[in-house]
Amino acid sequence: MSLFNRPNRAEVAAVYGVIVLLVYGWTLLWFFWKLPSWLYFLSLGEIAGILAYALTVNLLESLLVLLLPLGLAFFLPRRWFYQNFLASAAALSMMLLGYLMLFIDWINEAEGYPKDLFVGSIAAGFGFLLLAIVLGNLPLPRKILASFAERASVFIYLSLPASLLSLVFILVRNLL
């Protein structure tokens, strides 16, 4: 018996698939939103460079986001997060990444830095954690979240090769 709780690889891959779906999807949405205007003043090589940097950063962001549910599974009591890791981690990842997407929009639309945004974000994070734990322990949401996460793992097969190819592109471009 291990001192720390360790989720199995299939569960970690499924949660990573959910994270990849949201992070890469958000980036590609904004990339394709801006692409028509870029075509007027950027070359295809420059556009490919922008996409390569975005995909490489997404790889790092996705791995960093994955560390949060893994850390919670390691250090929280077994019944709270580890026992239903797949559903709880998928729910937490979706809520946190959705909040970060809204956070970016709030910052972009605000004239100044919004008051109490930091404190509100900390409170929201704890609320999301509590909600993820509750959803992971309820049978129907647990089944839906686990099913969604398992299906989202297919995005790993698309994101990893694209990100690694982008990383090679960046390294070649900056070293030569």
Q: pLDDT (tens digit, 0 to 9) for every residue of the chain, 176 residues total? A: 455 567 788 999 999 999 999 999 999 999 999 999 999 999 998 999 999 999 999 999 999 999 998 888 888 777 777 778 888 889 999 999 998 888 887 777 766 666 777 777 788 888 888 788 778 778 898 889 889 899 999 999 999 999 999 999 999 988 87
Q: Does 79 map to a domain?
A: yes
Q: What is the 3-state composition of the chain as percent helix, strand, coil, each rounded to the nearest 5? A: 85, 0, 15
DSSP 8-state assignment for residue 176: -
Q: What gap in Å lies between CA 68 and CA 92, rounded to an integer?
A: 9
Q: Does 2 map to a domain?
A: no
Domains: count for the chain: 1
Q: What gap in Å lies between CA 103 and CA 121, rounded to an integer?
A: 9
Q: Which helix (H) or strand (E) holds 103?
A: helix 85-109
Q: What is the pLDDT of residue 136?
A: 79
Show the tokens assigned to 139.
């049978």
Q: Does 106 map to a domain?
A: yes
Q: What is the pLDDT of residue 1?
A: 44
Q: Does 4 map to a domain?
A: no
Residue identified by tokens 């004239």 is: 111
Q: Which domain holds residue 134?
A: 9-175
Q: What gap in Å lies between CA 175 and CA 2, rounded to an integer?
A: 44
Q: Does 31 map to a domain?
A: yes
Burial class (CB in 10 A: 0-12, 13-18, 19+), 14: buried
Q: Does 3 map to a domain?
A: no
Q: What gap in Å lies between CA 100 and CA 96, rounded to an integer?
A: 6
